[in-house]
């Protein structure tokens, strides 16, 4: 019997917390806090003229500042808001904001690593979504459970097949226990994007999942758990990919082991196949440095799925997938598969360098728009464009990359305008407050981050951080929307394990869907109506699947954004900021992974344009490999060494040194790397 934590001490603690929240209800801050050098704003609906920042435990004010009217009758919330700026307070510690000498905010921290725990918690949220395995011991803690859904799954009659497809494991998709390829695609794609773009930021191997400490970043361990399930959903005959694996109807609020209904595999789908090909191609690139055999498996599967798409040039099934009669689980309806095909082509080109995929992307890249929208499961063209924009293959079209960069910059400017016109600095239109609305500012933060990385415009980085502040408490509900993060967060998410496990606390690290003006469930309809401002249409109630469900595709951008801001920021150096972003001399980063098998990535930072030579030598100083780097622009550059010598043959296992040599004969200090075959 799992211990029930809903006891008197917990109840008293919750009451005390509630009383504290009620006294703090007028002041809005990020409940986790702020990096020291970041902009910091407090918002309040009190018409006060000043505020003070004090130690959270009490004491003298360390900062005082004015409050000014910021938003009158804010369209999203209907609130009148006042704003104060305490950006110049950079002292580390735990603080609270006081307004009118009596009201105090929830406590928050100023620290270089203020979001590190959030990154670990949100990534570990995927561990708690694992299907078909026991969650036990220290990684599971009080949320331990026994395995369920080990008989996934039987072919549904709509497939035209009979029998069983062994497709256990993977992640539960959301608050229910279904598994859906299209949602897995955008989720895995986002997580692998995080690692591929910023490997040093996502290198943590101590998140406390069963694989922690194995020398592989935990993000990649966790994503592989899902990838191995996705691979099982490919049809061995046609190489197409089945759409989903669910019951015919949602289960009740029971634990996985008690959900014993028959689970079915549903039809082949071109949107599923496109997602599959894209993420497998990206996985082939990312995992090459860690497990070249698995990377090759992913690439082979991606190529085969592309073959299915080429053999079926029209959407499959006609009009897109829809539930057959008698099935009422998630539909993820999408009648246009052109964006999935485009994403697959871009990722396969970057994985193989083959013109077949490149030409497809070049011929179709503009069909669904450029970088002028936010990615989501039915709109993945932006994932294709981001991949191509960041590509470094010799044959890549740099003119098109410039076009994409300009498009991204234009969209970031639009998002800045949205942010500046919103009472809480969140880049959302009133129409964005729909099912899963909290994913929208996070996905826009992802684009703002890449806008910053491509241009060096620090305003984009600041706006990206504002979107995280919204999620963590700078919102009309004074709530951190992430379970277990901060002092006030959802206690009753629409999430079957959280509702059925007998533990008072919800499973931690999961993002609630957020305000939903469409009132898509009876609980929302009972509390709000069409006159309610859209950002207020949220309730912390297990029955509100329209506003309080969790989902893996919403957690994925939370992982990327929190992980990006979890440590000191090594600036991009690509724009023209007010302060120098790079050291005066070329800087050589530590390779990653290290030790490695197959391939490793070496990072070079340049303050100014330069021509250099990357040299790799063995422990005796003998030349092993060299690459001439001609006319590199200022900024950050990444180079992949495949563990081969100058003749293209694999080198022996052992210790190697690498350094940069300039045309003037100067060299950088050498760094070590360990190659293990």
Q: Annotated active-site positions, please?
A: 176, 494, 540, 549
CA–CA distance, 426 with 406 (Å, rounded to integer): 23
For residue 15, what is the enclosing H or E element?
A: helix 8-23
Could you tell me if 411 and 372 are in contact, meaning their C-beta atoms sit under 8 angstroms apart?
yes
Q: What does 426-470 look like in DSSP terms, one character per residue?
A: ----GGG-STTTTHHHHHHHHHHHHHHHHH--HHHHHHHHHHHHH
Nearest to 366 by CA among 386, 339, 348: 339
Q: Using DSSP, state whether 284 is helix, strand or coil.
A: helix
606 by DSSP, 3-state: which? Answer: strand
Contact of 95 with 48, CB cutoff 8 Å: no
DSSP 667: B
Q: How far is CA 242 from CA 152, 154, 317, 343, in A?
A: 13, 12, 11, 18
Interatomic CA distance for residues 501 and 512, integer angstroms? 18
**CA-to-CA distance for 399 and 383, rounded, in angstroms?**
19
Separation of alpha carbons 556 and 547, rounded Å? 18
Q: Are 281 and 350 in contact (CB under 8 A)?
A: yes
Give the single-character DSSP code of 425: S
Token representation of residue 640: 């992949």
- Helices (H) and strands (E) counted in the chain, each on its own, are 17, 22
| 10 contact partners, CB below 8 Å, separation of at least 6 | 504
CA angle 297, 640, 211 (to 5 degrees): 55
Residue listed under structure tokens 């789908």: 269
Q: Are 266 and 246 in contact (CB under 8 A)?
A: yes
Burial-class residue 573 by CB neighbours within 10 Å (0-12, 13-18, 19+). buried
Residue 510 near residue 504, CB atoms below 8 Å: no
């Amino acid at each position: 019997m799992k211990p029930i934590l809903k006891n008197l001490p917990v109840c008293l603690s919750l009451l005390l917390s509630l009383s504290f929240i009620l006294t703090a209800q007028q002041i809005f801050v990020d409940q986790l806090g702020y990096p020291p050098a970041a902009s910091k704003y407090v918002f309040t609906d009190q018409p006060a003229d000043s505020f003070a920042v004090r130690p959270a435990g009490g004491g003298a004010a360390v900062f005082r500042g004015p409050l000014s009217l910021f938003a009158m009758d804010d369209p999203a919330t209907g609130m009148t808001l006042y704003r104060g700026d305490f950006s110049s307070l950079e002292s580390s510690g735990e603080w609270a904001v006081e307004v009118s000498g009596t009201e105090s905010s929830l406590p928050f921290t100023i620290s270089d690593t203020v979001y590190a725990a959030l990154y670990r918690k949100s990534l570990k949220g995927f561990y708690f979504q694992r299907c078909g395995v026991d969650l036990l011991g220290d990684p599971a803690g009080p949320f331990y459970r026994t395995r369920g859904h080990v008989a996934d799954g039987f072919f549904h009659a709509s497939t035209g097949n009979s029998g069983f497809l062994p497709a256990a494991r993977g992640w539960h998709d959301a608050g229910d226990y279904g598994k859906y390829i299209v949602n897995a695609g955008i989720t895995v794609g986002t997580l692998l994007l995080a690692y591929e773009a910023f490997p040093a930021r996502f290198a943590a191997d101590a998140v406390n999942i069963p694989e922690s400490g194995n020398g592989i970043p935990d993000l990649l361990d966790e994503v592989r758990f899902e990838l191995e399930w996705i691979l099982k959903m490919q049809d061995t005959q046609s190489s197409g990919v089945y759409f989903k694996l669910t019951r015919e109807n949602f289960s009740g609020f029971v634990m996985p082991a008690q959900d014993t209904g028959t689970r079915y595999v549903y039809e082949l789908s071109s949107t599923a196949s496109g997602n599959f090909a894209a993420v497998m191609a990206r996985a082939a690139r990312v995992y090459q440095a860690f497990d070249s055999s698995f990377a090759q498996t992913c690439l082979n599967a991606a190529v085969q799925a592309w073959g299915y798409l080429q053999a079926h040039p029209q959407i499959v099934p006609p009009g897109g997938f829809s539930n057959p009669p008698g099935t009422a689980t998630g539909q993820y309806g999408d009648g246009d598969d052109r964006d999935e095909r485009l994403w697959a082509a871009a990722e396969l080109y970057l994985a193989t360098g083959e013109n077949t995929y490149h030409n497809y992307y070049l011929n179709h890249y503009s069909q669904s728009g450029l970088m002028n929208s936010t990615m989501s499961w039915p709109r993945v063209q932006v994932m294709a464009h981001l991949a191509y924009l960041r590509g470094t293959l010799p044959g890549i079209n740099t003119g098109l990359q410039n076009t994409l960069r300009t498009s991204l910059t234009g969209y970031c400017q639009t998002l800045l305008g949205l942010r500046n016109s919103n009472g809480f600095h969140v880049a959302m239109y009133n129409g964005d407050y729909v099912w899963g609305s909290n994913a929208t500012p996070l996905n826009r933060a992802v684009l703002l981050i890449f806008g910053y990385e491509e241009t060096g415009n620090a305003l984009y980085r600041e706006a990206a951080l504002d979107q995280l502040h919204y999620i963590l408490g700078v919102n009309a509900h004074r709530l951190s929307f992430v379970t277990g993060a901060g002092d006030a967060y959802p206690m009753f998410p629409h999430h079957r394990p959280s509702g059925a496990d007998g533990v008072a606390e919800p499973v931690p690290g999961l993002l609630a869907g957020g305000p939903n003006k469409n009132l898509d469930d009876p609980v929302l309809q009972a509390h709000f109506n069409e006159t309610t401002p859209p950002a207020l249409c949220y309730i912390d109630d297990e029955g509100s699947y329209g506003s309080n469900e969790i989902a893996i595709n919403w957690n994925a951008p939370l992982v990327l954004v929190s992980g990006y801001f979890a440590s000191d920021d090594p600036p991009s150096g690509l724009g023209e900021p007010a302060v120098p972003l790079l050291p005066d001399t070329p800087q050589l980063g530590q390779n990653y992974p290290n030790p490695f098998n197959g391939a490793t990535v070496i990072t070079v930072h340049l303050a100014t344009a330069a021509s250099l030579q990357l040299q790799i030598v063995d422990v005796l100083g003998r030349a092993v490999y060299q690459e001439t780097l001609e006319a590199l622009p200022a900024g950050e550059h990444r180079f992949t060494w495949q563990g081969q010598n100058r003749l293209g043959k694999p080198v022996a296992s052992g210790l190697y040194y690498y350094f940069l040599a300039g045309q003037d004969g100067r060299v950088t200090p050498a760094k070590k790397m360990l190659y293990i075959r």
